[in-house]
Structure formats: structure tokens, C-alpha cells
Amino acid sequence: MKPFTIINGKVLTPSGISDTSVCISDGKISAHGGKQGEIIDAAGKYVLPGIVDLHGDGFERILMPRPRVAFPIDVALRETDHQLIANGITTAFHSLTVSWEPGLRSLDRAKILCEAVGRSQVNYASDMYIHIRWETFALDQAEAAVDLISENRSTLFAFNDHTTKLAEERWPPHKKAQMQERTGITPEAYQDLMQSSWSRRNEVPEFIASVAGKAAKRGAVLLAHDEETPTQRETYRSHGVHASEFPLSYETARNARQHNEHTILGAPNIVRGGSHNGALDATKAVSEQLCTILASDYYYPSQLLAASKLVHLGVSDAVAAWSLISRNPAELARLEDRGSLEAGKRADILIVDGFGTDAPTINTVIVAGRPVYRFSPT
């Protein structure tokens, strides 16, 4: 891999924007200042660390673009890789649910995806990882969910409860219908299966404690998904779960931040100007320092757009806004080799036109020192 240098760009360093050059050698950032090898001229553009996405389930819509219409997993992952890179996501954690449901979010489907990511990683430009989202009522699948954790690569393991809302009929009808459709079974069969899982609710707390201990022992980073109250945050904290993913109230997010825990919200929330399901406003949460990480959630372009919008609105400066989608997620995922443009770090780099405006454009994407994408409008 030949060395090269990016010159004339506005380089995002931990302390601010610098006019320095960035030298890349052997897949890493070797120095700031000076020149070596091939020259990439980034005049007028921003030079930024690659985006780290901790929670992206956009691949589900590529795998199953219509209910019950699925494409081969390897085909879907190749297309996902193209979309990730085109949107500046150099490190991606695919959020896959292990539920009591059959179909798209079944244990069998999760196993297939984990195997495909591990088998074909060398074929992808992006660096792909797994984010296991265990439905806490999937008691029969609990041990197998823990077994999906890779002891050799960073794995996120989230605790998720959609069952309670289903049983208490707190999901809107269209959402429940969507969940049922992706299973491939009839509404009656889906209702019966849900009620069977709900009938075991007294067993759930003990399973959560057990699974948390086993997942931590295997080296997973533990998250709690959709926590509604500070009490839930405190309960999960007692099990060693020290990150709140999509907290549903400001009080819950505040409780997490008071304990110096990361809080993850969806970048689409900022791009759209609010939550599509009535949850807390991510822009307000960022402004009040209640959000430390933004994930793509269901829309891969959203991280770049959200960070740029935060700067454009004056909510955050460039360093703070970009930390939400690079440095902070890398820190939580224990990926110490990326997330910033410091010497010695892995050379995951974006060259972006118009960062800080409402229309940023990816010009160049470099992954581990290798240019993998260059945009040409002509």
C-alpha cells in the first residue's frame, strides 16, 4: 500500500479545524504536516474521520424490501456495503434482532447474517460488525443469542423489549401490522405466539440478569434499548449495562449522563426535525448534552446530514458534532484504533464538500489507508 498525503483541506483535529496536511502510510495516519507519496488535493473541503455507525438496520430493507420478499444475504450485504461507503460510514454495526418471532428477526436469520459477515468481510470496503438486539421475552433463544457474540471482534449486545408494548396494545395498529408482516405468519398465529411469550413475563427479569452476565463475560459491549424511565436505566445499570440506546424520555437520558454513560439517539431524528414516533427530540438532547452518539438507525445518509445540520444551526461546533458520529461511537465500541485523525490511528478518512451546511457531499472515502470511493459529478 503506497503512502500518500492529503493537502489543502480543513482537517478536523480533536482541538478544532486545522490547515495541516495528513500523511497516510501502511493503512494508518503517519503524521500531520509535510508530504509523502501521491498527493490528494482537498482544497476547500473538510477532511474528517470516517463515520462509525453503532446501530443501523437499514440493511433489513435491502434484505427484505417488501414484506415476505427476501434477497440472498450476500447480495444484500454487498449492496449495503455500497450504501455505507457512499454515505461515509467506514465502520458499521448491523443491528439484528433475535426475537421469539419467525422470519426477518428470527434467531435463524441472525445466525445467517453473522456467518455471512464473518465469511465475506474481506470482500467489503466498510468494516462490518454485529449489533445483537435480544428481545428480552425470547427466553428460548437467549443462550443462542449469547453464542452469537464474537470473542475476536467487537460485538454490541442490546436488551430490547417490544413484547410488553405489544401485549399492552401500546403500538399503533400500523406498527403492529408491520411487525406481523415481516414474520410471514398470519395475524392470528402472530397473536398466539406473542401471548405465549407474554405468559412467561415473570421469568424475564431473571433471564436479563443471567444474559447480561454471560454476554459481558464473552466481551460484548452492553446496551439497553428503548428505556422508558430512569428506574429502567438504574435496573440495567445494576446488571452492568452502561449505555442507553434510544432512551424514550429526557429524564432517562439525564439519568444516564449523570453517571457518565453514553446515550445513543437516531440521526434521522435530527434530519427530520424530531422523532417519528413521539420520542424525545434529538436536537434538543444534543444541545442539552443528553446525547453523546448519533446512529443511522434506519437511514444511512442521516449521520453525515445530522452532524452537518447541528453545525449549520449553531447547536454544536464541528468537533462536537463530528464526535457524535465518530470518536464517541468508536470509544463505546472499544475500537481504540479509529474515530479521530491522530497519528497512529487507522486511516479511515472522509473528504467532504460543504460540511456545516444543509447539503454536505462526500467527495472521497478512504478505509484503512485505501481510497474506496471518489465522487465525480460529471
Mean pLDDT across 303-319:
97
User: 220: how many CB neighbours lie within 10 A of its CB?
Assistant: 24
> In the numeric block, which cell numbers belong to residue 258?
449523570
Q: Which of 17-21, 118-122, 150-154, 225-229 has the lowest mean pLDDT?
A: 118-122
Q: How far apart are CA 308 and CA 357, in angstroms?
A: 6
Instruction: Tell me the backbone φ, ψ of residue 283, rounded to 5 degrees.
Output: -65, -45
Q: Which of 61-75, 142-156, 330-344 has the lowest mean pLDDT?
A: 61-75
Most distant CA atoms of the chain, gap in Å:
68
Residue 100: pLDDT band with limits 50, 70, 90: very high
3-state secondary structure (DSSP) of residue 113: helix
Please name the helix (run of DSSP H) or strand (run of DSSP E) that holds residue 227, with its range, or none: none
Residue 4: pLDDT band with limits 50, 70, 90: very high
> pTM to 2 decimals?
0.95
Integer-rounded Cα radius of gyration of the chain = 21
3-state secondary structure (DSSP) of residue 14: coil
**What confidence tens digit (pLDDT) does each residue in 38-89 have?**
999 999 999 999 999 999 999 999 998 888 888 999 999 999 999 999 999 9
Per-residue pLDDT at 156 exceeds 90: yes
Per-residue pLDDT at 125 exceeds 80: yes
Distances (CA, A) of 174 to 8, 169, 185, 266, 320: 51, 12, 16, 21, 37
Residue 121: pLDDT band with limits 50, 70, 90: confident
Residue 377: pLDDT band with limits 50, 70, 90: low
Could you say which DSSP state residue 120 is in? H
Could you say which DSSP state residue 226 is in? S
User: 154: how many CB neighbours lie within 10 A of its CB?
Assistant: 20
Per-residue pLDDT at 378 exceeds 60: no
Provide the strand spans (E) within 33-126: 38-41, 46-49, 51-56, 89-98
Residue 15: pLDDT band with limits 50, 70, 90: confident
What domains are defined for the chain?
1-50+339-378 (2.30.40.10), 51-338 (3.20.20.140)
Provide the strand spans (E) within the chain: 4-7, 10-13, 16-18, 22-25, 28-32, 38-41, 46-49, 51-56, 89-98, 127-135, 155-160, 221-225, 243-245, 262-266, 293-295, 349-353, 361-367, 370-374
Residues 6+ apart with CB under 8 A from 355: 46, 48, 307, 308, 311, 318
- pLDDT in the model for residue 274: 82
Please name the amino acid found at residue 163.
T
